[in-house]
Structure 1
């Protein structure tokens, strides 16, 4: 298998790296001691993505008719890798470009595409995803938020939780039940909800590891036109499945973990710690996990580049990324010792990132269950 980038993709990578070297300084994401979800971080991302968009680098993989570059899946992923190495300066915008936009391109009406896609491609709006609920986290098929048809509208009532970046979002990619409670996944629909709609209330959730991006969203008799539904009524699960396949590999977190690992190796070498064979072995193990995650993700991107339907390979790639992040986080704590607890050190940042690695974009345990059932074909009992 040839792992090298094609010439056009390599040229795009070089141009992008030059742009990022000019635009981003070391520590840009914690210049004021705050992190993900903070006002400083969010404001920076809004400004940065507009500059990214002005160069055609925000949505390189989208078709040109929708504001993209028409350059395919690989340039999109090159973009993701390079940005995650820098701490993901797009902030919540990666959701917009990775899967919200592609979902609207595939399932949206001409009117929805015309209204919603250009602002995303220009970097002018932020989206959040209204999936998880207090009683429906990993089991989305049991969600209780309801949307009831009332003439030309739907009236939505319910609650969402752990809704990242909802406090600054302009729109929500919202799941609601339009069928009966017994219908499970066959009674779910997708709504493209403006967050300023009356009846939408957002409450912040303080993160225990300094992440201020989480929120609760309360929906009280929220009235939206039927034209806000994406796809057909009660057929939202197929959209969700495709969406989650994009989401699980849309954030190449292993790239950030590998970069931290390099810095950690330099730190350890300067102190003579790599002379210990057991320490060197752990570094090698962590590096192998990062590389395994990268190759497994590349397989998914290759399928996407060939316009194949999503496969269970995305679950394997997602699980591998979690293992890589956790391995680097644990290694940082063990090798650096008390110094890993210093705010914004290599160990501190990576350990906090790794804590959420097995939760965001689908829990690690659920990914393992899916792998067991769909890849290994193991019995349920």
Structure 2
């Protein structure tokens, strides 16, 4: 792997940094504490993403025939890193450009692509993913939300939980059961959130503003044209989507930026000389670099056209470790940050504290690594 950025890649990063400096409001660090799914940040993100789109910076990694620039995965990684270092001003729309749009490009019907891709490309859409359920958190094969075909509509009944952005989303990427087969009986429906019978309830959050919800589907009628792909194809589609999702969330970049900010504050306060503080900062930096390299190795494989499998979970868990350690470092040595003394560090803490839950629980990632990467037996022999 070449560890040097090309001149073009460096120029692209500088262009993004200049755009952020010119576009984000002066009180952005404090404003960003609202949280990615808050009404305030969601409203701001629509304006921000619209400006990104005008500059050709919202979907540069999409194919040119869809409105993108055909940029390679390294440009996508640079874009995501700079957005996360800034505190992700795209809000929940990062999902749109990272995996919802690309999944629709690959599996959507012409009608679905015509309906959903333009609003995403303009920065005017917000999606949520209806995956987890009570009793079926990250085990999608156990889901019970059912879609029964009746003529030219599906009748959908069930419940989803821990659904990010559902309270303000336009459309739900809904995973549901269409037959009894454990895996082949799962399908995907694209369900407008204003469909009669859809009810959203916010789950209270211990920190910041609540980003997660319960979603209930009570005999919702969804047209058959809203099905993405074929019946029973969900497993293949989800595998493709999650690979894009996990590599498109470089939380390690925010963690490293927060660590650097914390060290600068400690140095300014003459509190960085102690060996214990310096050693812990070094541990945090090492974890951030390990997460970055694990992600870069997978991006390199994407550029080579190689298939990516369960090893993406290794990169995901490395990022979880980095985020948690940096958040703990700030709490230990700069606790005043949680009382608004250092807004950037508080923002990172709010993002980092859920790192092991969002985008797949840490324990589930470890199970995947154990069984699919290390090939360990599921039960003692």
Fold shared per TM-score above 0.5 = yes
Question: Which position in structure 1 is the counterpart of 2:322?
Answer: 324
Name the structure 2 match of 1:137: 137
- The higher-RCO structure (CA 8 Å, 6+ apart) is 2
Residue of structure 1 aligned with 2:338, choices 334, 337, 341: 341
What does 1:1-381 align with in structure 2 at a 5 Å threshold? 1-28=1-28, 30-31=30-31, 34-180=34-180, 183-337=181-335, 339-343=336-340, 345=342, 347-381=345-379
Query: Aligned with 1:176: secondary structure?
Result: strand
Deviation at 1:138, TM superposition (A): 1.6
How far apart are residue 144 of structure 1 and its match? 0.6
Q: CA deviation at 1:184?
A: 1.4
CA drift of 1:198 comes to: 1.4
Shift of 1:220: 1.0
- Matched length: 378
Deviations 1:231-280 (A, max 9, x none): 11012111111211222222111111111101110111123332212211
- Cα deviation code 1:84-118 (max 9, x no counterpart): 00000000101101001111111112222122111
Give 3-state SS (helix, strand or coil) of 1:162's partner: strand
Q: Pick closer, same or farther for the CA change 1:306–1:56 going to 2, 3 Å.
A: same
TM-score, normalisation: structure 2? 0.95
> How far did 1:32 drift?
9.0
Moved more, 107-116 or 140-149: 107-116
In 1: Cα distance, 2:142 partner to 2:248 partner:
25
Aligned-residue offset at 1:132? 0.8
Q: 1:264 to 1:199 in 2, by over 3 A?
A: same
**Could you list the per-position Cα deviations for residues 181-208 of structure 1 after superposition, in whole angstroms to 9, with x for gaps in the alignment?**
xx21221001111111111111122211
State the TM-score, normalizing by the size of structure 1.
0.95
Cα distance change, pair 33–362 in 1 and its aligned pair in 2 (3 A): closer
- For 1:215, what is the secondary structure of its paired residue? strand
Q: Provide the aligned C-alpha RMSD in A.
A: 1.6
Question: Structure 2 stretches of 5 or more lacking a match?
Answer: none
Determine helix, strand or coil for the equivalent of 2:357.
coil
Contact 1:66 1:113 in 2 (8 A): no
How many Å apart are 1:213 and its aligned residue?
1.6
Change (3 A) 1:119 1:226: same
The answer (yes or no) to whether the contact 1:67–1:117 under 8 Å persists in 2 is no
